[in-house]
Amino acid sequence: MTLSASIPAPAASTSAQPKQAFLEIQDVVKDFGGGAVAVNHVSISIAQGEIFALLGSSGCGKTTLLRMLAGFETPTSGRILLEGKDLAGLPPYDRPFNMMFQSYALFPHLTVWDNIAFGLRRDGMPKDQMSERIESMLKLVQLTKFAKRKPHQLSGGQQQRVALARCLVKRPQMLLLDEPLGALDKKLREETQIELVNIIEEVGVTCVMVTHDQEEAMTMASRIAVMSEGRVLQIGTPADIYETPATRFVADFIGNVNLMDGIVADDEPDHVVIRCADCSHYVGHGITGTIGMPVAVAIRPEKIRLSATEPQDEHAPHNKLRGKVKDISYFGSFTVYHLLLDSGAVIRVSESNVSRYREGQLTWGDTVWASWTPTAQVVLTQ
């Protein structure tokens, strides 16, 4: 590759590599037959104590991968190693992993206490030791008062905490979470995200979670693997993935982005100029390429500034364009302006609403200038 477009910004790469591989997924393939391959040559290594998220839309293979870790599915090929030991052939009930199901899968005929005790009873733990452990676990998830209730007598959030307690009480080597907050409403989800991470960190268990919600992945996980159609597209910290996406798909999937196709017009040691339909980009962060090479420029809406008059700065005539306000989406804390460009393309610009008053603000049909700094863009080749 001549254009090393996705060289991450400084300081991003060090945290992307795990300290030491605790769980190693090596070239795993799962083929259910019938054409599509659910998981396609996936390799991931996960460090001890990490919260790792598999992020992707439905049908991308993330749940299948998680189920292979739990032992419910067998990989067609490839290996899964825990501290160097191959897990192949180990049934779910012999794996030191516990999984929290999307539906929580609480046993409806058992009380909260018995649900949590279920796993310990299977291990044949002595009674007094067991009740001690369950007590402390109930305390941790703040459900001591509800021990005698049946699952259907609890709220969604409480059920979720029972499911978590039921997994953690077994002190698994790894906690598997399948859409841990998928069944909760938005407000509760935000509160629970932090709470869940706090509990997991307090216990210190390594955790693999599956989610389709990028906010959930970014808030909770220390590293994220973005998956699509059975493949892992990028692995990195939330900031890596947001600020330096490796592909158009990742850039588009995580957050909002304006993608502009263009070609490399000028390649200097300290910058590159990329010409697009509506503007030209002056990209200042150590990338290089051949003249005439087709690339895509990705720029996040919040990294664009708006002004009524043409901005005059050192990079003129680059990094700015003129457009007409087509749509305004007000979100409370910020507003997204959709600018119609001369070519007919639309870009999105988001501005924080720092003032309560809307006088002098842009309105439909206004012509405005948008501009950005030479470090705002990401140049993508794939």
Residues found near other proteins in the complex (CB under 8 A) = 70, 72, 91-94, 97-99, 101-103, 105-109, 118-119, 122-123, 150, 152, 166-167, 170
Query: What is the helix (H) or strand (E) element at residue 122, kind and residue range?
Result: helix 112-122
Least distance between other proteins and beta carbon 153 (Å): 9
CB nearer to other proteins: pick between 126 and 292: 126
Closest by CA to 374, choosing from 319, 332, 299, is 319
What's the sign of the alpha-carbon dihedral 350, 351, 352, 355?
A: negative
Closest by CA to 244, choosing from 229, 232, 230, 254, is 254
CB nearer to other proteins: pick between 66 and 257: 66
Show the tokens assigned to 223. Answer: 């590293």
Phi and psi at 335, nearest 5°, equal -125, 140
Q: Per the omega criterion (within 30 degrees of 0), is the bond before 317 cis?
A: yes
Least distance between other proteins and beta carbon 75 (Å): 17
Q: Which residues contact 96 (CB under 8 A, 6 or more apart)?
A: 82, 172, 173, 174
CB nearer to other proteins: pick between 106 and 210: 106
Query: What is the C-alpha to C-alpha distance for residues 301 and 127, in angstroms, rounded to an integer?
Result: 58
What's the sign of the alpha-carbon dihedral 312, 341, 246, 273?
A: negative
Phi and psi at 318, nearest 5°, equal -85, 175
CB nearer to other proteins: pick between 124 and 269: 124
Least distance between other proteins and beta carbon 168 (Å): 12
CB nearer to other proteins: pick between 104 and 337: 104
CB nearer to other proteins: pick between 47 and 90: 90
CB nearer to other proteins: pick between 118 and 369: 118
Show the tokens assigned to 373. Answer: 């700094």
Least distance between other proteins and beta carbon 292 (Å): 55
The packing angle between helices 156-168 and 112-122, to 10°, is 20
From the DSSP assignment, how many helices (H) and strands (E) are in the chain? 8, 20
Least distance between other proteins and beta carbon 213 (Å): 20
Least distance between other proteins and beta carbon 107 (Å): 6
Least distance between other proteins and beta carbon 210 (Å): 14
